[in-house]
Amino acid sequence: MSDDNGPLYLGFDLSTQQLKAIVVNSDLKTIAQAKVDFDGDFARDYEIHKGVHVREETGEVFAPVAMWMESLDLVLERLYQEMPVSMSRICGVSGSGQQHGSVFWNSDAEELLRELDPKEDLVTQLTDALAHEWSPNWQDQSTQKECDAFDSALGDREKLAEVTGSGAHHRFTGPQIMRLRQVLPRMYANTSRISLVSSFLASLLLGSIAPLDVGDVCGMNLWDIPKQEYSSELLALAGGEQGADDLRKKLGEPQMDGGKSFGNISQYFVYKYGFNPDCQVVPFTGDNPATILALPLRPLDAIVSLGTSTTFLMNTPAYKPDGSYHFFNHPTTKGHYMFMLCYKNGGLAREKVRDALPNAAPAGQASWDEFNKAVLNTPPLDVARDGDKAKLGLYYYLRETVPNIRAGTFRFHCETDGSNLQQASEWSREVDPRIIVESQSLSMRLRSQKLVHSPRDSLPAQPRRIYLVGGGSMNPAIARVVGDVLGGADGVYKLDVGGNACALGGAYKALWALERKQGETFDELIAKRWKEEGSIERVDHGFKDGIYQKYGEVLGAFGEMENKLLAEEKS
């Protein structure tokens, strides 16, 4: 299929801390990669920390858009050096961006993008195209008031979720726009277009403002998923009573076919980096939608992304929205959706538990050995013998969103059948590693149970395969517990590209867009070319008869524990 002169595809990922680029051939083989690390490359120029600025007083978290412009030139310079063959073989470009972030362009933007001069760099030419130098980041927490307004706009939170796929969330672009319109009215009035981070990057490459994509448009609380159009009521809420049409124009209509090219790459990149003038720019999507494109993900397969945050992703034809989780349009497959749970307390919460162990390695030499030993030496739910109570806990170093519970450590126990849930007194720190990983997995199981059914042979309802990505996917003890709790009838697998899944998903998306046959879905095309060997590694058996059911017994008690804590805050 691929030959020495065959087509190549480039995928980007503009995440919170890095811009990555990855080039693959038609056989999905990686040819070259490059990355820019914002703190490593630009911390001095932009005074960022972990890619962003934080304003504690307001809860705002935001990133400098100019830094992303500089990063695109820098990552392409690096890629150019890394490429073993000519850049002109790249036929298509796509990629992903951190979800929900927005870029506010002024009325000069179109012209400045169209007339980019390859003798200059992007940042020098495009800073004047911005109405606002900052992009609100997904970690932002400044929009509680706006979220309350969104949650009640259509009746209640559940109704909002039914219409937009999600209840209101601080980071969602609709509440963010609503707030910025009020706190920076001049900036908002000067804004002629608003991009999401994904379509911003596509716009730079296209040399024109690119439409939003079918998946990412659902991360705003503005898109009516059942009707597949903007909700006029929600536009009026975010854009102001008389401002719904104006906001509709600012956002522009999304492109509903994730595989339809926007057009040729801008001449700037042709002259500067040797791209082929016919290279096509294919819609960029959000980083989570792109993650589900890093492999042929079948309905009933799940991806657990174990990064700074934890996300649980499924590709499903069933639209069953609920205020505590998210549905997005699938980025490539009409009639399918991406189901997502997104937790703030992921890797950093596990690190806190690790560092509190009696034998923890000194600060700076953190090792997971003691943590893993503790996980594997503790029986499920810490029930060693008949009569022992099952232990359940929540470990939040930040206020969680799923559910919205305050920061803190909460320890409970119940009978093994889930009855008699009570607050527990302290227990040994060595028990916490297992209980935190179980807790994170139980929460995913609780919230995804409506989406799974028996995969075969009258096995209990559960995912078929579970794929782990992100930093935590390297940890065998975590893989074991994920399998114990969530099952996985065909096992738990680690994706070898781990941290690069979104960029790879972007590259595959470009490939599919340009090589698909009439009606061929993304998963059909990728499944034909994808070789498991070298792409994934089986890291746990997954479903274990008996153990899986034990966790099922306490699932109700786990929900009860969350509800007790929620009720305490309300009272």
Q: Which residues sit at the interface with ligand XUL, rule CB under 6 A?
A: 15-16, 98-100, 138, 171, 286-288, 309, 311, 342
Shortest distance, CB of residue 397 to ligand XUL, whole angstroms?
A: 17
- Whole-angstrom Cα distance, residue 249 to residue 302? 36
Q: How many CB atoms neighbour CB 312 within 10 A? A: 25
Contact residues for 102 (Cβ-Cβ < 8 A; gap 6+): 135, 136, 173, 176, 177, 194, 195, 196, 197
Going by C-beta distance under 8 Å and a sequence separation of 6 or more, which residues neighbour residue 53?
A: 47, 60, 61, 62, 63, 64, 134
Nearer of residues 170 and 480 to ligand XUL, judged by Cβ: 170
For ligand XUL, give the closer residue by CB, 268 or 325.
325
Question: What letter does residue 49 receive in the DSSP assignment?
Answer: B
Residue placing its CB nearer to ligand XUL in the complex, 16 or 345: 16
Which is nearer to ligand XUL, 100 or 413 (by Cβ)?
100
Measured from the CB atom, the residue of 101 and 211 that comes closer to ligand XUL is 101
CB of 391 to ligand XUL, least distance (A): 29
Q: Would you state the structure tokens that stand for residue 549, as one six-digit string? A: 């059911």
Closest contact distance (angstroms) between CB of 101 and ligand XUL is: 8
Alpha-helical runs (H) found in 221-361: 232-239, 244-251, 267-273, 287-291, 347-355
Give the shortest CB-141-to-ligand XUL separation in angstroms.
12
Q: How far is the CB of 343 from ligand XUL (least distance, A)?
A: 9
Query: What pairs with residue 11 in β-bridges?
Result: 22, 94
Nearer to ligand XUL, 171 or 480 (CB): 171
Please compute, for residue 436, the number of CA atoms within 13 A of its CA located in the half-sphere on the CB side. 29
Structure token digits, residue 469: 């990505």
Supply the minimum distance, in Å, between the C-beta of residue 532 and ligand XUL: 26
DSSP SS3 for 539 = strand
- Per the listing, tokens 């209509």 go with 253
Ramachandran region, residue 470 (left: φ > 0; alpha: ψ -120 to 50; beta: rest): left
In the complex with ligand XUL, which residue's Cβ is closer, 308 or 333?
Answer: 308
Is 292 or 381 the residue whose CB approaches ligand XUL more closely? 292
Shortest separation between residue 341's beta carbon and ligand XUL, angstroms: 10
Closer residue to ligand XUL (CB): 207 or 215: 215
**Shortest Å, Cβ 501 to ligand XUL:** 12
CA-CA distance, 137 to 156, in Å (whole number)?
Answer: 26
Residue 181 has a CB neighbour count (10 Å cut-off) of 19
Nearest-approach distance from CB 543 to ligand XUL, in angstroms: 27
Cis, peptide link before residue 403, omega less than 30° from 0: yes
User: Burial, 534: exposed, middle or buried (Cβ in 10 Å; 0-12, 13-18, 19+)?
Assistant: exposed
Closest separation in Å from C-beta 307 to ligand XUL: 8
The DSSP code sequence of 92-121 is EEEEEE-SS-EEEE-TTHHHHHHT--TTS-
* Residues 6 or more apart in contact with residue 557 via CB below 8 angstroms: 390, 392, 412, 414, 418, 419, 421
Question: Angle 133-138-144 (CA atoms, 0-180°, nearest 5)?
Answer: 100
Spatial strand order of the sheet with 390-396 comes to: 390-396, 408-414, 422-423
Q: In the complex, what is the shortest distance from the CB of residue 309 to ligand XUL, in angstroms, rounded to a whole number?
A: 6
How far is Cα 274 from Cα 438, in angstroms, rounded to an integer? Answer: 50
Beta strands at 90-97 and 30-37: parallel, antiparallel or unpaired: unpaired
Structure tokens at 15: 């995440």
Residue 323, beta-bridge partner list = none
Counting every residue, how long is the chain?
571
Residue number, 312 or 493, with CB nearest to ligand XUL: 312
Identify which of residues 25 and 98 has a Cβ nearer to ligand XUL in the complex: 98
The nearer residue to ligand XUL, 240 or 471, going by C-beta atoms, is: 471
Q: 């998923």: which residue's tokens?
A: 225
Minimum CB–partner distance for residue 205 and ligand XUL (Å): 20
Q: Supply the minimum distance, in Å, between the C-beta of residue 15 and ligand XUL.
A: 5
